[in-house]
Amino acid sequence: MLPLPLTREIVLIGGGHCHALVLRMWAMKPLAGVRLTVINPHPTAPYTGMLPGFVAGHYSREALDIDLVRLARVAGARLILDRAVAIDPVAQTVSLAGGRVIPYHTASVDIGITSDLPALPGFGENAIPAKPLDRFATAWDAYLAAASDAANVVVIGGGVGGVELALAMRHGLAQKGHPSAPVTLIEKRNLLFEQSKSLTKALKSALKSNAITVLENVEITAITHDTVVLASGQSIAANLVIGAAGARPQAWLKDSGLDLNDGFIAVDATLRSITHSDVFAVGDCAHLTFAPRPKAGVFAVREAPVLFANLRAAVSGGSMQAFRPQKDYLKLISLGQKSALADKWGLRSSGAALWRLKDRIDQKFMDQFHDLKPMAPPDLPTQVADGMTEALGSRPLCGGCGAKLGGGVLGSVLNCLPLTERTDVLSRPGDDAAILKGPGGSTQVITTDHLRAFTQDPFTMARIAAIHALGDIWAMGGKPQSALATIILPRLGPDLQAEWLREIMSAASEVFGAEGAAVVGGHTSIGAELTIGFTVTGLCDAAPITLAGARPGDRLILTKPIGSGTIMAAEMALEARGDWVASAWKAMTRPQGDAAAVLAGAHAMTDVTGFGLAGHLLGMARASGVEISIDLNAVPFLDGALELAAAGMRSSLFADNRALVPELPVEGNPKAALLFDPQTAGGLVAAVGAGDVGNIICNLNSLGYEAYVIGACREGQSTVSLGDT
């Protein structure tokens, strides 16, 4: 039986704390018929509560991050790594910085705030806003790593957040061996003007004891690359300036058509926009019209169960719940060292015990995002046929090239195909692509490929599938001519069906159009899951480049790092870090037509796909009658691939690929194991003359490729071996 159809789209704009919790809840209790989409610029979202501890050096950068890739996987959600720049509540669409337009039935906004100071001359070029947190955290990490005795920090904004950051920076610099590095806190009004006198006194005392210079009631007129200029004419030396002055709404909200309060989305007690009931807003970007509260993460966390319930109700006809925020909350303010100040109901205390309490609260919050389990496979019937366990394997079936048949099975069948008697078909049975003789001595090449989806985003998957299908055309030196799509969609409601198909064809047209090829149609059907494929034709001005032709003395050039199969397998198992997955997606979505043009003079060339690097080089070695020696230390790997391979992670096609070259030693060697990792939209590998290597590498580098010389061809048996070049 096919899965139930998807009929409604919920779009979560932003990866804030509330949305992260909603994803966690959705994983435990999904709603049948809903496709959940998350839009966020980065694969991770930093947790506000641990930011001062990270700045002070108590937590690593990784400890600060909520991994949205893992959350989306466990929730069955689509993750789009892009930034929202507009919402049209009438058309029910979200526009992204990359140009995509995402429709929704129900949307929720959780994009936080900014502490940018755009009106301050020089701020955009010479300073970093403390919010959004991801950019600030990355900038501080880099600054601290390179800090010297010349470190000189200025924090603009004397609220609680600015005070916390100044204290944390003082401690962080001291931990790096720079205890005397100047830290200055500047406020244009009275320091902590919104706080009680007793809290202000306590925090001023902490600033004084940490030798932090405080400038109150001063105006900043400009920021240069090394100074902060005051209205008095005084200049404060600074090689890092942080803006922490107040909470400002994201600028694009002002043109949203939603009702705003001082730029923040006005919501009612159900957390819905007071003017557009299909749009929700939570966290710092929302204004609670029924009970205004300060911008604090505690409210976002407590909004999550209400938002979760109301999103479900909005697309299923249920009743709405009301959010009732507490009037006061416990403030735990980090004092730089492992000490904190507590404030509630006008009562306050400080010390190491309170920091430990804050740490326990923060760690408990983060633990719920670390303790994620992949969905368990359904139980087998009590009685099954022999061979069921072996057929299922020990790991879930991978997507992309990891889901393909092994080379042994393919070879045993394709070798039985009869040789053609046609004189206009120049390729032999079993080749990846056909070479056809055209009129007037012209040559046409044709190839076909399809992929089982490994991402929930049809647009990204279509882009990868198109680039993957073009690989054989590029590898043969052909110019892409036309493409036909073969698409299997899961069961969808009529509007989602049209939208998915639109996204797929839009991505395909973008990729093929950029290469000069026309998408001329195709075929669609409905099945259990998304599968996308393309049949592509290309024209060759010269004789096609094949696997044959590599010569002894040739060098092998690879245009992309390997490891995508292992990373995608680990992502399914919730074992891959989000930034590793994002890096792999970026590699797979890069076309290689420009690289193919540089490699047009290669003696032999192939794209690295399902059989892995070793398997495809074996095909070249056999077709060319040479031995190919791989310099394992020169082979590039995607971020995270080596760590995952060392931990034993393997794609489901690994064993079949390993059987193609059993003589290569892989035990205990993760680099060697990755030679058998199936690649999706992998790089081109070309055999070129040794004298041409320098120019080719230089030209590829100028196009942005980190091209690599990974081995050489020599006389010998038609096999693949390991060795230095």
CA dist list (Å): 362 to 168, 358, 708: 16, 6, 44
CB atoms within 10 A of CB 186: 26
pLDDT of residue 620: 96
Question: pLDDT confidence of 147, banded at 50, 70, 90?
Answer: confident
Rounded to the nearest integer, the mean pLDDT of the chain is 92
> What secondary structure does DSSP assign to 237-298, as a single string?
E-SEEEE--S-B--GGGGGS-S-EETTEEEE-TTSBBSS-TTEEE-GGGEEETTS---S-HH
d(CA 559, CA 539): 22
Per-residue pLDDT tens for 615-640?
Answer: 999 999 999 999 999 999 999 999 99
pLDDT of 286-321, one tens digit each? 999 999 998 888 899 999 999 999 999 999 999 999
Percentage of the chain lying above the pLDDT 90 cut: 78
d(CA 543, CA 9): 49
**In the chain, what are the domain boundaries?**
8-111+252-370, 123-243, 419-544, 546-725
Going by pLDDT thresholds of 50, 70 and 90, the confidence category of residue 115 is: confident
| Cα gap 4→492, rounded to integer Å | 8
Q: Does domain 419-544 have CATH number 3.30.1330.10?
A: yes
Which strand (E) or helix (H) includes residue 356? helix 352-370
Q: Is the pLDDT confidence value at 414 over 60?
A: no
- DSSP conformational letter for 6: B
522, 676 contact by CB (below 8 A) = no
Q: What is the mean pLDDT of residues 665-670?
A: 90
Other Cβ atoms closer than 10 A to 182: 17
Percent helix / strand / coil, the chain, rounded to 5:
35, 25, 40
Tell me the pLDDT tens digit for each residue of 555-605: 999 999 999 999 999 999 999 999 999 999 999 999 999 999 999 999 999
Distance (Å) of CA 271 to CA 90, 391, 692: 19, 49, 64
Equal fold, 8-111+252-370 vs 546-725: no
Quick one: pLDDT band at residue 439, thresholds 50, 70, 90? Answer: confident
> Can you tell me the mean pLDDT for 644-673?
92
In the prediction, which pLDDT does 149 show? Answer: 81
Reported confidence tier of residue 417, pLDDT bands at 50, 70, 90: low
Predicted local confidence at residue 418, as pLDDT: 63
Question: Tell me, what's the pLDDT at 663?
Answer: 86
Q: What percent of the chain stands above pLDDT 70?
A: 95
Q: What would you report as the CA-atom Rg of the chain, rounded to the nearest whole angstrom?
A: 29
Q: Which element (helix H / strand E) includes 166?
A: helix 160-175
- Rounded distance between C-alpha atoms, residue 711 and residue 478, angstroms: 25
Residues 6+ apart with CB under 8 A from 376: none
- Residue 296, judged by CB atoms within 10 A of its CB (0-12, 13-18, 19+), counts as middle
Q: At what angle do helices 578-588 and 458-475 cross, to 10 degrees?
A: 50
**DSSP designation for 562:** B
Please report, in angstroms and rounded to a whole number, the separation of the first and last CA atoms in the chain. 54
Given a contact cutoff of 8 angstroms between Cβ atoms, the answer to whether 500 and 458 are in contact is yes
Task: List the strands of the sheet with 78-81, edge to edge.
Answer: 78-81, 34-40, 8-13, 106-109, 279-281
Sole residue written with tokens 């107040």: 246
What order of strands is seen across the sheet that includes strand 220-223? 220-223, 227-230, 235-237
What pLDDT, on a 0 to 100 scale, did the predictor assign at position 402? 58
What number does CATH give the domain 546-725? 3.90.650.10
State yes or no: pLDDT of 262 exceeds 50: yes
145, 230 contact by CB (below 8 A): no
pLDDT of residue 642 exceeding 70, the answer is yes
Q: Does position 424 have pLDDT exceeding 80, yes or no?
A: no
pLDDT of 432 > 60? The answer is yes
- The answer to whether residues 281 and 110 touch, using CB atoms and an 8 Å cutoff, is yes
Match 């073969």 to its residue by tokens: 486
Distance CA 206, CA 96 (A): 43
> Beta partners for 562?
637
Q: How far apart are CA 392 and CA 22, in angstroms?
A: 33
Report yes or no: 514 and 30 within 8 Å, Cβ to Cβ: no
- Do residues 240 and 144 make contact, with C-beta atoms less than 8 angstroms apart? no
- Cβ pair 421, 676 in contact under 8 A: no
**Average pLDDT rounded to a whole number, residues 341-345:** 85
Q: What's the average model confidence in pLDDT over 456-485?
A: 96
C-alpha–C-alpha distance, residues 535 and 656, integer Å = 25
Region of poorest pLDDT, from 56-60, 265-269, 414-418: 414-418
Query: How many H helices and E strands in the chain?
Result: 22, 35
Residues 6-16: what's their mean pLDDT? 97
Report the alpha-carbon distance of residue 168 to residue 53 in Å, rounded: 7
User: Could you give the angle at the alpha carbon of 189 between the alpha carbons of 187 and 193, nearest 5°?
Assistant: 100
Return the CATH number of 8-111+252-370, one of 3.40.50.2300, 3.40.190.10, 3.50.50.60, 3.60.9.10: 3.50.50.60
Predicted confidence at residue 724, as pLDDT, reads 61
Centroid of chain to Cα 383 = 42
Per-residue pLDDT at 419: 61
Average pLDDT over residues 659-668: 88
pLDDT of residue 725: 45
Question: Which CATH superfamily is 123-243 part of?
Answer: FAD/NAD(P)-binding domain (3.50.50.60)
For residue 552, what is the DSSP state? T
CB 103 within 8 A of CB 494: no
The tokens for 135 are 């950019």
pLDDT at 415 over 70: no
Residues pairing with 34 in the sheet: 8
Picking from 333-347, 457-471, 509-523, which range would have the lowest pLDDT averaged per residue? 333-347
State the burial class of residue 486 (Cβ atoms within 10 Å of its Cβ: 0-12, 13-18, 19+). middle
Tell me the mean pLDDT in the region 440-461: 91
- The answer to whether 304 and 287 are in contact (CB under 8 A) is no
> Mind telling me the catalytic residues?
401
Extract the tokens encoding 494.
Answer: 């009529």
**Preceding amide of 52 cis, omega within 30:** no
- Kindly state the tokens that stand for 339: 């000490």
